[in-house]
Amino acid sequence: MKKTKIALAITAAVMVSQPVLATNGDHLIGLGAQARALGGTGAAAFFGSENALTNPALIGKMQGTEFAIGGTLFKPDVTAETNVASAPGTTAKQTSDADTNIIPEVSMATRINENLVFGLGIYGSAGMGVDYRDNGGAPDGGGLFNGYSNLQIMKFAPTLAYNTEQYGIGFAPVIQYGSLDLNYNYGGTNVGNGMSTDLGYGFNLGGYFDVTPELTLGLAYQSAINMKYKDQVSRAADGFNLPAFGVNFGDELEQPAELKIGAAYTMGNMMYTADFKQISWGQAKGYKDFNWEDQNVFALGAKYSGNGYWAGVGINHAEDPIKKVDDGTYAGQATDLFNNHFFPGIVETHFTFGGGYELTNRMTLEGAIVYAPEVSKTIKTGHVSAASALGAGYDGTQDYGTEHEVKHSQIGYTVSLRMNF
């Protein structure tokens, strides 16, 4: 069976595949144990030095000096099943082997004077992809093409915040380091170019206002950061020297801009938080070409603080930002195949809880668990299969009725040690 057309589809898919590390698209729903325990909120709630990358103004509420170090053990469960490239009546199925990831988190903040606080946040915001290299041992991966992708992103954000008794503003220039490795195997030939890295630059800007001593409103903006991974996307695109796919691909992948609005209300021992966030996938280079749309994220959290401990719960919801093209054409179905197979960022609802305990009067151990129940998504691939089988005889109308289904669930465990001086 001739597989020229499907090879091109998989080429397009692998070359821009991103990890499903984060739960809103490819973003973690929160940074730090407290934010993740409370549904990913943090635009208005003061969580200490970990606010540096969420809303830099809030570190202006810091007293003294704080240092926090920790990390997240992230475990996605992704399974793909398809008959798009298999013999009639058979399917290829595998659970991705990229199922365990460690994401580091470090933050600090110290008060300079009555009105100024300096902070620093260093966070891993991406760190996995998909791995279908062990599917059946066949040269083409048994229909899954032995596809492998790995994107790693680290953000470094020195922060300066100015505050008064009632309001504060903050600014953080962001340095982003990224590495990308894309490869797959087709017909016994490996297509890939090793790993490429890049530095990108952006900024975070935020403010807060204490309406009353109990109620805080917050607003923050995170700029888009463009990245270019040399010879990754473009090399995968012409891996077979077959330009008939009809799309020109570059090496740029842009982390999208975010706008965040939040509120935090304290009543006795309880704090209630609510955030709205818009992630501009539809404007980001790379994502917009594959039919991603802007994503609205809604998050709620509640936290109880006792004598030397705290406990919190939350929920985070955002609709799948990856919209089906589903236009009955080869190109449209190939785009859907890319998204569903290599970047199934389709989870929508996340349930969170966590807590902290003071080991000493200067040291607190904190933890959080984030769980996203399984969702599934099926896309049509009949035109892709027909083009693969018929080659030059494919006239754009034949549909072989094949499909591709992906299932995805997630769980993440965060641990942090917070020290105050």
Other C-beta atoms lying within 10 Å of the C-beta of residue 52: 32
Which pLDDT belongs to residue 14?
A: 42
Which pLDDT belongs to residue 289?
A: 82
| 349 vs 396, residue with greater confidence | 349
Q: What is the mean pLDDT of residues 211-215?
A: 97
| 202 vs 126, residue with greater confidence | 202
Identify the H or E element spanning 9: helix 4-15
What CATH number labels 4-420? 2.40.160.60
Q: Tell me how far apart the alpha carbons of residues 148 and 309 are, in angstroms, rounded to a whole number.
A: 43
Crossing angle for the helix pair 382-390 and 4-15, to the nearest 10 degrees: 130
- Place 237 in a pLDDT band, splitting at 50, 70 and 90: low
Q: Tell me how far apart the alpha carbons of residues 414 and 369 are, in angstroms, rounded to a whole number.
A: 6
- Place 222 in a pLDDT band, splitting at 50, 70 and 90: very high
CB 260 within 8 A of CB 219: yes
Q: State pLDDT tens for residues 34-74.
A: 999 999 999 999 999 989 888 999 999 999 999 999 999 98
Asked whether residue 368 carries a pLDDT value surpassing 50, the answer given is yes
Taking the model in full, what pTM does it have? Answer: 0.89
Q: What is the mean pLDDT of residues 20-30?
A: 70
In 3D space, the residue among 405, 334, 409, 385 whose CA is nearest the CA of residue 92 turns out to be 405
Q: Where are the beta strands (DSSP E) in 223-340?
A: 225-228, 252-255, 258-267, 270-279, 295-305, 309-318
What percent of the chain clears pLDDT 90, i.e. is strictly above it? 52
Which pLDDT belongs to residue 12?
A: 40
Which pLDDT belongs to residue 320?
A: 92
The b-or-e profile of 131-153 (16+ CB within 10 A means b, else e) is: bbbebbebebbbbbbbbbbbbbb
Q: Tell me how far apart the alpha carbons of residues 16 and 235 are, in angstroms, rounded to a whole number.
A: 11
Which pLDDT belongs to residue 152?
A: 83
- Place 151 in a pLDDT band, splitting at 50, 70 and 90: confident
- Backbone angles phi and psi of 407, in degrees to 5: -120, 140
Q: What is the DSSP string of 32-55?
A: SHHHHHTTT--SSS--GGGGGGT-
Assigned token pair, 348: 């929508």
Q: State pLDDT tens for residues 156-173.
A: 999 999 999 999 999 999
Helices (DSSP H) in 200-354: which residue ranges? 233-237, 330-342
Q: Return the percent helix, strand and coil in the chain, to nearest 5.
A: 15, 50, 30
Which pLDDT belongs to residue 24?
A: 82
| 270 vs 13, residue with greater confidence | 270
Q: What is the mean pLDDT of the chain?
A: 85
Identify the H or E element spanning 113: none
Which pLDDT belongs to residue 142?
A: 57
- Place 20 in a pLDDT band, splitting at 50, 70 and 90: very low
